[in-house]
Structure 1
Amino acid sequence: MTAVGAEDPWPVPLSALEHYAYCPRQAGLILLEDAYADDAATVRGTLAHHRIHDPGHDKRPQVRTLRALPVWHDELGLTGVCDVVEVHPDGTVLPVEHKSGSYTPGGPADVQVAAQAMCLEQRMDTAVPTAAIYAMADRRRHTLAVDASLRERVCATAEAVRAVMAREELPAPAADQRCRRCSMNTGCMPKVLAGTRRYNRLLAELYTPSHETDWDD
């Protein structure tokens, strides 16, 4: 597990972990250019989060429910807000991240909610081995183990985000199927930039002399 050194002045938002895990360029556009854009899906998610963060809804009195809970991890340089944190009678602490779409096992949301669990461990001084994602499109809760592999993924993603912030340079566009579902497609221009990058590569190859052993006699 990689710790944040004194030379790393930038705290990494928990939401940036999910953005980077989905697409590094998306994270860069948001962090470096404040270029976030909404579409119908993101608006639905925002409205749903407003309802979730309303403290007036708790149908399970035996479970203490904390909403919009600020969390952080000093050693890893993480900071953010948990949608919902459940504290059960036996002391179990469970972060529950709400997403408007369907759940993808092993997807970017896993990184975000695992990071929440790691932050809660520091804040509440207790082990948080399990987290959950409530997928509104599925209308069900998906639980996942916050195991060593996922924790390493959180740390690696945090370091990658921090590297983007340090370089102050946008990552290259993905230009694949992810772009069709991204609300930032218009501003990102993945196809245009990918085409330009390919053109420059082919142009460089065209004017790069081959080794004399490859010459025709």
Structure 2
Amino acid sequence: MSTTRPAPGLGGEGELLQVPLSALEHYAYCPRQCGLILLEDAFEDDAATIRGTLLHQRVDTPGNRGRGTVRTLHALPVWHDGYGLTGICDTVEIHADGRVLPIEHKSGRYHPGGPADIQATAQALCLEEMFHRPVAEAAVYSAADRRRHPVIIDGPLRDTVLRLTETVRALLTSARLPAPVADTRCRRCSMATGCMPKVLTGTRRYHRALDDLYHLEADPESA
């Protein structure tokens, strides 16, 4: 278990700026993508995001179902007041032995240690708070792989979630859009057109445009 704990006095509803669980995954993938979504309410669909939407339509209908000794909850709202986290779990299984298993659904292939693990871990932290029991494992279901991939909720993952939570909260507080990255992530990002990473990444034209935009001409009458 991680030794990281919330700061004293930060527990309780309304005392922390709430961070959406989905924002942690977006930030882990690309800080600028997260900033565009949170600060500018910008989002563009492509084939991958549409596949994800269609997948979630099948699992995001709220409900409580039973299968043998397993109780399955869909579209379960979750939160952690002490960490200031809030969101919705695609699926949560409650097993007969008391084990609580969050399952995050993804349309694409699973990448071990990737952003999906961050989101699944954040869900586990919220469920621990809500059910008052340890959640030692989560799962990421990949529609492309057609299987579940286990995620062990260990100390480093917990610490990463809490660090990213504070980072995203600082982003929301400052309202400053992160700089673009312009690397291989942009090829798979539906927001690349609006983000304009190649245009805005360290080019002479960009910096010259900034200089022109914020350059104040001297008023000859005031000289």
TM-score, length of structure 2 as denominator length:
0.84
Task: State the Cα distance separating 1:169 from its structure 2 match.
Answer: 0.8
Q: 2:112 and 2:127 mapped to 1: Cα distance?
A: 22
1:85 to 92, 99, 102: 92
Q: 1:8 and 1:187 mapped to 2: Cα distance?
A: 34
Unaligned runs of 5+ in 2: 212-223
Q: 2:73 and 2:52 mapped to 1: Cα distance?
A: 19
Q: 1:61 and 1:53 mapped to 2: Cα distance?
A: 21
Aligned residue in 2 for 1:18: 25
- 1:8-33 deviation per Cα after TM superposition (whole angstroms, max 9, x unaligned): 64200000000000000000000000
Aligned residue in 1 for 2:168: 161
Q: Any conservation in 1 of the 2:64–2:74 contact (CA below 8 Å)? A: no
Task: State the Cα distance separating 1:196 from its structure 2 match.
Answer: 3.0
1:89 corresponds to which letter in structure 2? Answer: A
Aligned residue in 2 for 1:152: 159
1:116 to 79, 104, 123: 123
DSSP 3-state at the match of 1:79: strand
* Residue 199 of structure 2 corresponds to residue 192 of structure 1: yes
Q: 2:57 and 2:108 mapped to 1: Cα distance?
A: 16
* Residue 6 of structure 2 corresponds to residue 3 of structure 1: yes
2:56 corresponds to which letter in structure 1? Answer: H
Q: How does 1:49-60 map to 2 (within 5 A)?
A: 49-54=56-61, 60=67
Q: 2:64 and 2:120 mapped to 1: Cα distance?
A: 21
Aligned residue in 1 for 2:133: 126
Task: State the Cα distance separating 1:62 from its structure 2 match.
Answer: 2.0
Q: 2:66 and 2:98 mapped to 1: Cα distance?
A: 19
Task: State the Cα distance separating 1:97 from its structure 2 match.
Answer: 0.2
Change (3 A) 1:162 1:60: same
Task: State the Cα distance separating 1:144 from its structure 2 match.
Answer: 1.2
Task: State the Cα distance separating 1:197 from its structure 2 match.
Answer: 6.7
Task: State the Cα distance separating 1:174 from its structure 2 match.
Answer: 1.1
Q: What is the root-mean-square deviation of aligned Cα atoms in Å?
A: 2.2
Q: How does 1:16-95 map to 2 (within 5 A)?
A: 16-54=23-61, 60-95=67-102
- 1:11-56 deviation per Cα after TM superposition (whole angstroms, max 9, x unaligned): 0000000000000000000000000111111011011101012367
Q: 1:114 and 1:166 mapped to 2: Cα distance?
A: 24
* Residue 187 of structure 2 corresponds to residue 180 of structure 1: yes
2:40 corresponds to which letter in structure 1? Answer: E
1:102 to 100, 109, 117: 109
Unaligned runs of 5+ in 1: 205-217
Q: 2:195 and 2:19 mapped to 1: Cα distance?
A: 22
Where does structure 1 differ by over 6 angstroms across 4 or more consecutive aligned residues?
none
Q: 2:29 and 2:131 mapped to 1: Cα distance?
A: 29
